[in-house]
Chains A and B, each alone.
Chain A
């Protein structure tokens, strides 16, 4: 019974990781950039929702949309100003730029809003749902539902729409895509917009779930989500979901049955072991080596 309860705890926790990992993977899949600032965009999303809800008394859905718009615009702006000029540079250059953006966002928020944590408005009411002997917070079910829904939506966008087709073309070969008449800049901009909007969803849901937001809230979830995305096979949308949930379950079961002190170490050990057997992540495609 306890095992089942811990398993459910893990799935719920993992769906939060998955939600952030989806945005990570989305951007990575198209431009092969580890957007280190993703966790901070998630934080901005939470703060945008905080102000939207408090200043305009919006309810959950409009708040969420407002945060998504803010983050999408922010993500596209960052891409335009900081990532586009160095698209041709080595990948690691973009990584350092992303780290710079991350530091900048954290400290700007700290200066403008102050370092103290803010209490997020209770936009949704939480209830404990009992299934048999198991208890789960209804908000966690919402989070899980939203992440699965978004995963399906994203997969649909990428595979069945014109934009999605263009995205896949860009991810495979930018030059060939350009020759086919695809506006690469616009597609990459869209990708950042969508990825950042996803981060906003994560931020708002975590805000609703835990009701505490602060300028540094993006660092650890960002790292965990990045790990989850790699675990699932970075660039693969269902992989982010699988990686996130697996990370959550591993963490929860470790805390429940092995040791809370070593939970992070064990979560990373699992990641490493899985990568040793599947070097491109759980659902990742084996990259073909050109000779």
Chain B
């Protein structure tokens, strides 16, 4: 009995793996036909890895809009070196293993020459290693974790945004110098790498410049009631409250804080940038300041053109994610143009020397392939974002 069953196991394993390879072979046939026909055509394939579904699909959508706008523009201008861009978008569900899976698929099956993505650092970081092994440049629009580019073995990772330590320092500097703040409270999402990082860098910079952090509170992903944390903060009302999260939660927290009678000034990072911040936060976010990649009031031709084009295509105001997606795509196009080739190594070399007038400022990269560009501080006044000042690195 036992013996027979054991021998059966063999057949099971065989069947399982035969099925496995059948399943995968089918995919190879499907996409194999498309890739072979287009390979030598007059197209340049660019991949995009974006969280279309999952918990941050709202950022995925903005990023996708930004990238698609850039692709549309470059194609209507005749493409790059006479070739049209073909964008292949894949969903990573904001999960690291999905990000890596679709990146492999884009590289091996679709034969893309470069990839844009992803949004959150936890997905981008493991992708960077895969991109580097395959010598395919990977540009993330919005992953602000320094490790995405600085880690060894991530040499083909680039980004269009500044990094968290810089942003944290900018906010701290603004708080101490412009707002003359002596005390600050920090409230962040403990499960989110972005908000944790920004909170830590702010705290370090603020304390270094002599400030005192009176409360360092956190919450969990998906929470909507912050009264317990805010009650703690209220014990010693600080000059400023730093909210490092995205706009959806910032609006909620600000509202609840005002309700509890907290009068402190709110400060935050680029996660605030969305027309929906005011819709959710209402008057509570009035007078709040945040650090961003660019100002919509900026009169530079790049910004004006981007905002007009974006509004024309999508009928909404672009947020920071859309701008960064747009810039990341344009970095890729510019590098391919400069390299005059679709060879990954050459594109990467061109990216290192890039000098692009982008929406979020002039992009030049440092030795860790991070842009050296100023940040702007914006203030919410009468429901609008008002430019306050530029902070250089």
A and B touch in the complex (CB under 8 A): yes
Asked if A219 is an interface residue, CB under 8 A from chain B, the answer is: yes
Closest to B57 in A: A115
Bound CA span A261–B200, Å: 14
Within 8 A of A (CB), among B26-58: 53, 55, 57-58
Which residues of chain B are near A117, meaning CB under 8 Å?
Answer: 58, 248, 276, 280
The secondary structure that dominates the B interface is: helix
Contacting pair B221 A220 (CB below 8 A) = yes
**Residues 8-23 of chain A: 1 if any B CB is under 8 Å from the residue's CB, otherwise 0?**
0110110010000000
Interface residues on B, range: 20 to 34
Bound CA span A16–B261, Å: 23
Contacting pair B232 A119 (CB below 8 A) = no
The secondary structure that dominates the A interface is: helix
Asked if B228 is an interface residue, CB under 8 A from chain A, the answer is: yes
Which residues of chain A are near B279, meaning CB under 8 Å?
Answer: 119
Closest to B275 in A: A116
Contacting pair B280 A264 (CB below 8 A) = no
**Count of residues in A whose CB is under 8 Å from the partner chain:** 39
Give min CB distance, A209 to chain B, whole Å.
8
Closest to B319 in A: A116
Asked if B259 is an interface residue, CB under 8 A from chain A, the answer is: yes
**Residues 225-266 of chain A: 1 if any B CB is under 8 Å from the residue's CB, otherwise 0?**
000000000000000000000000001110110001101100
Contacting pair B228 A9 (CB below 8 A) = yes
Residue in B220, B235, B276 whose CB lies within 8 Å of A264: B220
Are A260 and B217 CB-contacts (below 8 A) given A107-B53, A252-B228?
Answer: yes
Which residues of chain A are near B251, meaning CB under 8 Å?
Answer: 212
Bound CA span A12–B260, Å: 14
Bound CA span A110–B60, Å: 12
**Residues 255-270 of chain B: 1 if any A CB is under 8 Å from the residue's CB, otherwise 0?**
1000111000000000
Bound CA span A220–B53, Å: 17
Bound CA span A116–B217, Å: 26
Asked if B231 is an interface residue, CB under 8 A from chain A, the answer is: yes
Asked if B229 is an interface residue, CB under 8 A from chain A, the answer is: yes
**What are 14 sample pairs from A and B whose C-beta atoms fall under 8 A apart?**
A110-B53, A110-B57, A114-B61, A115-B60, A116-B276, A117-B280, A119-B280, A128-B259, A211-B252, A219-B222, A220-B221, A255-B229, A256-B232, A264-B220
Residues of A within 8 A of B (CB): 2, 5-6, 9-10, 12-13, 16, 107, 110, 114-117, 119, 126, 128, 135, 137, 206, 210-212, 214-217, 219-221, 251-253, 255-256, 260-261, 263-264
Given contact pairs A107-B53, A137-B259, A221-B222, enumerate 20 new A-B contacts (beta carbons under 8 Å): A6-B231, A10-B228, A12-B225, A13-B225, A110-B53, A115-B58, A115-B60, A117-B58, A135-B260, A135-B261, A212-B224, A214-B58, A220-B222, A255-B219, A255-B228, A260-B217, A260-B228, A260-B232, A261-B218, A264-B220
